[in-house]
Amino acid sequence: MAYYHRLGNIPPKRHTQFRQPDGSLYKEELVSSKGFSGIYSNLYHIHNPNNVVSIGDPTPFSWEPAKEYGLKQTHLKTAGVGTTGKDYLGARKMLMMNNDCMMGICSPEERKMDYFFKNADGDELIYVHDGEGVLYSQFGKLEVRQGDYIVIPRTTIYRFEWKEEGPLRLLVIESHGPIETVKRYRNEVGQLLEHSPYCERDIRPPAELHTESEKGEFLVKIKKGGMLHPYTYGHSPLDIVGWDGYLYPYALSIHDFEPITGRIHQPPPVHQTFQAWGFVICSFVPRLFDYHPLAIPAPYNHSNIDSDEVLYYAEGEFMSRKGIDRGSFTIHMGGLPHGPHPGTVEKSIGAKETEELAVMLDTFRPLFVTTEGLNFVDPAYPMSWKE
């Protein structure tokens, strides 16, 4: 994160006595990255965060790349998918993956989690395509809504509560490394620069603490090594009275991303929103088109020589694609040229603006469709450029 945040009550100095009303000590916990060299936060618990009551048997929670899928441009048709599972974790369907990241969909039937989740394998980026609710974590209460990116650092303990009415559809990206703001948009002390497409005002950290002090049995499902490990604790993990630091979950709305435009067509890096190990995330948002008198608004043909490109189509009509619906994924793999479908270039000339919304994942190592993703493949897509 680019700035310091604090909530609740904390002592004047770290690692010093901080006592509860009954005279006992609050339990300090350092949550840090890169050992003790990266960003971190200090949390203060009512109870001992190591108070484990029982540990259950681990169960598999992983996905496999499809074997012998081959090299082909791919369209995954998920527009008509309803609920994808009963609960939050059971509804996760990862459709593509490599060693750096996974990407998929999640539309749970149940709107309230009766357990907590901790991902110890990686950071998470959740895009709220449809829905509205609250993320509860040790860091407090974060209200989220349609269009939000939710960045959840590795090992954050959390649960979601979603509103009952209306559809609920999430795009989920899991990253092996940290998900960060874009380095070239930060100055030497981490502040987002004037020409960044968003700034700290647009970033929403938890706004208030949500302290659960009661004892009992509280289930935390921990993802580690592609397994779910059920841990039962003797108190709620949200027994925090205060914390401060730079590491915490936050939300950034795609609607607050300010597009960078030019006289001629701008390449995808101008849409970059986040960076991570081995991939970037970009946001395509409503914007004015190029204003050179001979401009062609539709994107030019492009050959990826060292990256795979995924577009998740959220809203609007994409001028360069035919047969794409809300909720479609297209995967354009390195080694093959891709570009506008026939007739769309000429049709785009003279267009002044677009109302599209899309999330793009660009990886720097090959991305593979999973066995789960095979259920959504459009077999006609590789031939859709045929004149």
Dump pLDDT digits (tens) for 191-215: 999 999 999 999 999 999 999 999 9
Q: Is 5-62+87-253's fold the same as 257-383's?
A: yes
**What average pLDDT score do residues 313-332 get?**
85
Question: Exactly one of 47, 195, 265, 292 is catalytic; which is it?
Answer: 265
- Per-residue pLDDT tens digits for 356-365: 999 999 999 9
- Per-residue pLDDT tens digits for 224-252: 999 999 999 999 999 999 999 999 999 99
Residue ranges per domain, the chain?
Answer: 5-62+87-253, 257-383
Q: How confident is the model at residue 320 (pLDDT cuts 50, 70, 90)?
A: low
The C-alpha atoms of residue 366 and residue 333 are separated, in whole angstroms, by: 8
Q: Is pLDDT at 98 greater than 70 in this prediction? A: yes
Q: Which of 62, 120, 67, 70 shows the shortest CA–CA distance to 89?
A: 62
- Per-residue pLDDT tens digits for 104-115: 999 999 999 999
The C-alpha atoms of residue 295 and residue 297 are separated, in whole angstroms, by: 6
Q: Is pLDDT at 321 greater than 90 in this prediction? A: no
Q: Is pLDDT at 80 greater than 90 in this prediction? A: no
- Per-residue pLDDT tens digits for 13-60: 999 999 999 999 999 999 999 999 999 999 999 999 999 999 999 999
To the nearest whole number, what is the mean pLDDT of the chain? 95
Q: What does the pLDDT read at residue 1?
A: 60
Q: Is pLDDT at 9 greater than 90 in this prediction? A: yes
Q: Is 276 exposed, middle or buried (0-12, 13-18, 19+ CB in 10 A)?
A: buried
Residues annotated in the binding site for homogentisate, as ranges? 338
Q: Is pLDDT at 318 greater than 80 in this prediction? A: no
The continuous run of DSSP H or E covering 53 comes out as strand 52-55
The C-alpha atoms of residue 179 and residue 274 are separated, in whole angstroms, by: 7
To the nearest whole percent, how much of the chain has pLDDT over 90?
A: 87
Residues annotated in the binding site for Fe cation, as ranges? 302, 308, 338
Q: What does the pLDDT read at residue 25?
A: 98
CATH superfamily of 5-62+87-253: Jelly Rolls (2.60.120.10)
Distances (CA, A) of 11 to 28, 137, 209: 10, 21, 16
**What average pLDDT score do residues 256-260 get?**
96
- Per-residue pLDDT tens digits for 275-294: 999 999 999 999 999 999 99
Q: Is 118 exposed, middle or buried (0-12, 13-18, 19+ CB in 10 A)?
A: buried
Q: What does the pLDDT read at residue 101?
A: 98
**Both structure tokens of 143:** 């209200």
Q: What does the pLDDT read at residue 2?
A: 66
The C-alpha atoms of residue 313 and residue 242 are separated, in whole angstroms, by: 39
AA letter at 331? I
- Per-residue pLDDT tens digits for 115-173: 999 999 999 999 999 999 999 999 999 999 999 999 999 999 999 999 999 999 999 99
Q: Which residues, 6 or more positions from 329, have their beta carbon under 8 angstroms from its beta carbon? A: 74, 75, 76, 78, 95, 96, 103, 310, 311, 312, 313, 376
Residues annotated in the binding site, as ranges? 302, 308, 338
The C-alpha atoms of residue 8 and residue 28 are separated, in whole angstroms, by: 14
Q: Which of 210, 243, 207, 247 shows the shortest CA–CA distance to 8?
A: 243
The C-alpha atoms of residue 24 and residue 18 are separated, in whole angstroms, by: 8
The C-alpha atoms of residue 251 and residue 150 are separated, in whole angstroms, by: 4
| CATH no., domain 257-383 | 2.60.120.10
Q: Is pLDDT at 322 greater than 80 in this prediction? A: no
**What average pLDDT score do residues 61-90 get?**
95
Q: Is 265 among the residues known to form the active site?
A: yes
